[in-house]
Structure 1
Amino acid sequence: MPKRHSLDAVIIGAGVVGAACAYYAARSGLTVAVVDRGPVAGGTTGAGEGNLLVSDKEAGPELDLALLSTRLWRELSGELPPDIEYEPKGGLVVAPDETTLKALRAFAEGQRAAGVSATEVPGDALNSLEPHLAPGHAGGFHYPQDAQVQPAKAAARLLAAARAETYLGEEVTDILRGPDGAVRGVRTPRRELLAPAVVNAAGTWGGDVARLAGAHLPVLPRRGFVLVTEPLPRLVRHKVYAADYIADVASDSAALQSSAVVEGTPAGPVLIGATRERVGFDRSLSLDALRRLASQAAALFPVLADVDVLRAYHGFRPYLPDHLPAIGPDPRVPGLHHACGHEGAGIGLAPATGALVAAGLTGTEPPLESGPFDPSRDFGTPDDAPAAGTAATDDTESAK
């Protein structure tokens, strides 16, 4: 079996998070290889909408990570080719009644203290931002920092810019460790890649990769669907969603939850997400989920009621019970680093995650406080979570 020496790190996962880790590691002067059991963006990244959101995050560690990523995505938009479709379109969160608007006001106040730009929009002014929005909303908040990218293209361009050795279609079957327990590389069916550091950016399969190294990381898959309409004139100018989406993101429930997020794209189709449910790696189509999304989107934008939906797709978000990703060195296994568990925010949080991982690999000062993302922390476990090991029994998922 061939062995590859002279690497500083091996990154497991060619999604946008793994690609960002490779990019920032390379910028720090490291030589890295990226290995993935599938293609670039073949797992969660390829099933994402490309959301770069601060609007749905309350003040705290995840919002701090999102604000750093917002700045880094803006920088990357000038460094990477334009086909990543970076679009700083802004977000609009709408409230159907005064009670919900009051709650949004308090939520936005905490966000502003953390550095978020959030402007209240009276109900009678919402149509100046979104002319086709349904009437009758009490008001909303405009978030100019929300943006969008084409996630698969972004992952590919980050990898290309990193000039990393990339091994696709090769599943990591073992993480190599020395007599002292420290990581010394990975093994695939075709080769051994030797390095003093391994980065687990395996998305929904992050728990499996952690187990290969003798560590525990309770990553669970959370399924979500997206509808894609026929190409249209630019009917929707921002990312628009009702306030209950914020509660869905923070929920621990395993049951189906849906709250439409509606946005136009440069190519014309309107994207309609998002549902959430924990069903393991069940890839079957849920007509209930699709009907809910279509109905909620038409309630926000009545003009969409007569529009054709061309297709629907779904993927699995990598979910950790405390709703924070695991980022950085694992103190239980020397040389093992993690960059997974971002749930539906991985695309938005990828650059800041990559910068944190690069700091951990080089032993330099991180760009923000990394303690809340400690991979060895006590995550807690939802009462309805499956037993350890049961989330990754379906090999049809094209994970990292």
Structure 2
Amino acid sequence: MIPFNKPVHLGTELTAMAEAILKNGHVAGGGPFGKRCEEMLERMLGLRTLLVTSCTHALEMAALLLEVGPGDEFIVPSYTFVSTANAFVLRGARPVFADVDAQGNLDLAHVERLLGPRTKAVVVVHYAGNSCDMEALLKLCGKVPVVEDAAQALAASFDGRPLGTFGVCSAFSFHETKNIGCGEGGALTLRDPNLIDRAEYMRDKGTNRRKFQHGLVDKYTWVDVGSSYVLSDLNAAYLSTQLEALSRIQERRRQIYSAYEEALTGPVERVGGYVIKGSPRNTGNQHLFAVVFRSPEHRTGFIAHMRKHDIIAPFHYVALHQSPMGQRFHDGSQLPASERLTGCLVRLPLFFNMTDAELSTVIGRAQEFLRAL
């Protein structure tokens, strides 16, 4: 069986975790490995970055920081994971679903039509490690805060600037399905310096414990709303080994992606489909290799063909405006690009430890199906 994904395995993770337990004697949040991870991320991104328990929780913190609440609206792409919307719905806000372009990224023309007096935030998702025109989005939104769901976008950029550094705050994921991970984990990046203190309070149960640890106050206490969002140092130890090896991990993903691209782009296009790609202004991170078929029937047939040969090639999101929960908020209008991706997009296995033999098998079986269409 060739799975869709396997967590990165370098062989150094257990050594780091043992160090956290045996040498440091610190496995809760806020330990040496957590600090190391934050420092590495801050060097990459150039912004204050807080390690948290998940990208979902980073988005929830963003909603809290922006004081989103009942009566507010936020614009969000329909073609995304549920956490992107849930984080703001939990605060009582109403999602306004925007369509995406053919590559899965936010349709700015549609956003422009949706902006209104109740819009409290625009949440942009960087699908497949690519993005919309971020400069145009910021200009379009004006004073309306932009939050980046950069779950898939670590090590990707737009016009040479890292994704996750454009919005007032941004959320990254270190779930096991991402380019690097620690099982479950995430990060919140803050471009607005006025949000940093509150974010640190919120991450640590609403207390000023961090200031106490740095000798800035003589005791710590409850100062704001918050929850237990800080990542365990065991998870941070696991993550640190992969952050340190990020360039090696990315190079292997580029090799796999390039092999797929070279072998499959032409055959896919000959049967009326296309491969998801970023714009020339994007430098992608090869987070996923996705094909959009001409019809849902082609997609269903492809998934079944691959499954028959013990290869897992899954679809991705169900557009949120078509979901039972999303229908409570949506006005019933069609979002054609999101609906096409829901019905026609499929992803191929792509992970760091994938062998050349596995890659060759996936390509061969995919070509076999495409030739028969």
Between Structure 1 and Structure 2, which shows a larger proportion of helix residues?
2
Is the pair's TM-score, using the shorter chain for normalization, greater than 0.5? no
Q: TM-score if structure 1 supplies the norm length?
A: 0.22
Q: TM-score if structure 2 supplies the norm length?
A: 0.23
